[in-house]
Amino acid sequence: MRLERADIRLVFAASGHGKSHAIKKWMRGQRRVMVWDVMAEYPGTAIDSRAALVDAVSRARFRVAFRPDFARGLAADFDFFCRAAFAAGRCMVIVEELNQVTTPSYAPPAWRNITSRGRHRGLVVCAASQRPAGCDKDAIGNATEIWAGRLPYERDRKALEPQLGRERCARLISLPQGKFEVWKA
């Protein structure tokens, strides 16, 4: 029996410190990519309709940047995006601004499904946030890699201590732009 290895990469850093840049590098060469693109900063076919998302991810190759409808509500669109990603399978799923759709004590069920069972569907998961202390513990606990850049708030550094350790987290307050401490499971 062959076990699928999880691939869950989380990137945390202050605004402008290279989170999206790092993720865009990981996108290169991927044939199937879905992005939760709240800031409209990713390449690919920009999609803001659920029907268009379903149509796009039914293809053999796709690179879609789903731009949620803030008027409709982030929670409903995020749930739909996550369910579509899980159903599509065999793709890279990127979530920007994770702390806007999860909390430390709550991972929406469809997102928790991705971070806990996505490996069985061939999902490579990448998520980014400026505030790790505001993100769900399920994602952090299941991460296979954590990239941490400059984090000015102590609470955010403390949230990563179990993985990175106290000494490495202490360095996060002064890391220059584009530099990361990397932890791998």
What CATH number labels 7-184? 3.40.50.300
Q: Which amino acid is at 152?
A: P
Q: Which two tokens stand for residue 171?
A: 């360095």
Adjacency order of strands within the sheet including 7-12: 45-47, 62-66, 32-36, 92-95, 124-129, 7-12, 145-148, 181-184
Q: What pLDDT does residue 16 have?
A: 95
CA distance 125 to 10: 8
CA distance 77 to 68: 6
Instruction: Using alpha carbons, select from 161, 148, 104, 152 the residue that is nearest to residue 11.
Output: 148
CA distance 97 to 42: 13
Q: What pLDDT does residue 71 have?
A: 86
**Which residues make beta-bridge pairs with 32?**
62
**Which residues make beta-bridge pairs with 16?**
none
Q: What pLDDT does residue 3 have?
A: 58
Residues of the chain with pLDDT under 50: none
Q: What pTM did the predictor assign?
A: 0.96
Instruction: Using alpha carbons, select from 64, 126, 49 the residue that is nearest to residue 95.
Output: 126
Domain ranges of the chain: 7-184
Instruction: Using alpha carbons, select from 126, 111, 39 the residue that is nearest to residue 80.
Output: 111
Q: Is the dihedral of CA 114, 64, 126, 105 positive or negative?
A: negative
Q: What pLDDT does residue 70 have?
A: 87
